[in-house]
């Protein structure tokens, strides 16, 4: 334990690393609280204030560090920046005020269809760490991306793979807990979960930089996909508008149902 004493060498004024760590934890916690309280869905952004490019870049770079299922990163983030693109997205977001006044937007996209290349990417990453005989963890990793991911993500027009997955889950789950999966809906849920976590990282980062966001699911998915030239396998998770929020953009106090209706300790 390192000990710092005051410059007068007063032994009653000692600052231990434990004190310092407690203080740092307190500061982090307080700052995190500030960010959580600061983030509100703001639907009217100040027309005179631009969002600095570095705020967007930093936030997008933080976004890709979000937790995601099996590190498959089946997501894409389309930063809508130019005025002409922003204008194009206003009607696609059903003319919402949050879109009309947005200085920037980011479209959060799921890419379930990219599972093969992402599994291969992870496989190759693990392979590149192997020198000589692979260790147990490395072997497990290679099997995971080489065998488990294809089983989890592959599909065929007849639904055979879905039935195979459902059957495996059913039989393996008879005697002990087993991962329940099956059809395309399970796969879609999987990629949307990860993408929504990325969206939250982005919003908290923007809040930490002193700007505001509004997540939107009110949009025309078909037209948004067309505007971004996305293939059938891609889906829009949400669109987040960004800017410097105004008071008018906050529609009222924050209401939440009581904690005891949603938080359960067992």
Ligand X SMILES: Cc1cc2nc3c(=O)[nH]c(=O)nc-3n(C[C@H](O)[C@H](O)[C@H](O)COP(=O)(O)O)c2cc1C
Which residues contact ligand X by CB under 6 A? 40-41, 43, 96, 98, 214-218, 238, 254
| Euclidean distance between CA atoms 236 and 110, whole angstroms | 6
* CB-closest chain residue to ligand X: 218
**CB neighbourhood size of 159 (10 A):** 13
CB of 154 to ligand X, least distance (A): 29
- Smallest distance, ligand X to C-beta of residue 35, A: 13
Give whichever of 217 and 248 is closer to ligand X, judged by the CB atom.
217
Q: How far is the CB of 216 from ligand X (least distance, A)?
A: 4
Residue 9 beta carbon to ligand X: minimum distance, rounded to whole angstroms: 51
Least CB distance to ligand X at residue 56 (A) = 20
Q: 143 vs 217, which CB is nearer to ligand X?
A: 217
Output 3 or 36, the one with its CB closest to ligand X.
36
126/206 with CB nearer ligand X:
206
Among residues 153 and 219, whose Cβ is nearest to ligand X? 219
């Amino acid at each position: 334990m390192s000990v710092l004493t005051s410059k007068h060498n007063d032994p009653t004024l000692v600052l231990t690393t434990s004190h310092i760590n407690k203080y740092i934890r307190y500061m982090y916690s307080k700052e995190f609280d500030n960010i959580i309280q600061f983030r509100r869905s703001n639907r009217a952004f100040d027309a005179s204030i631009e969002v600095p490019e570095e705020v967007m870049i930093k936030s997008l770079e933080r976004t890709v560090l979000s937790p995601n299922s099996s590190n498959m990163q089946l997501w894409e983030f389309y930063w809508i920046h130019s005025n002409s693109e922003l204008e194009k997205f206003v009607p696609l977001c059903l003319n919402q005020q949050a879109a009309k006044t947005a200085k920037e937007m980011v479209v959060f996209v799921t890419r379930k269809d990219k599972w093969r290349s992402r599994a291969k990417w992870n496989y190759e990453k693990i392979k590149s760490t192997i020198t000589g005989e692979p260790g147990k963890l490395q072997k497990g990793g290679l099997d995971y991306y080489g065998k488990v991911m294809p089983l989890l993500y592959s599909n065929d027009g007849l639904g055979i793979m879905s039935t195979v997955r459902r059957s495996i889950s059913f039989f393996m789950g008879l005697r002990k807990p087993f991962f329940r999966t099956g059809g395309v809906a399970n796969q879609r849920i999987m990629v949307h979960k990860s993408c929504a976590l990325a969206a939250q990282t982005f919003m908290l980062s923007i809040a930490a930089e002193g700007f505001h966001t509004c997540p939107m699911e009110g949009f025309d998915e078909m037209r948004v996909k067309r505007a971004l030239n996305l293939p059938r396998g891609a889906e829009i998770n949400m669109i987040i508008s960004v800017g410097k929020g105004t008071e008018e953009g906050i529609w009222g106090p924050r209401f939440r149902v009581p904690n005891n209706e949603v938080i359960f300790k067992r």
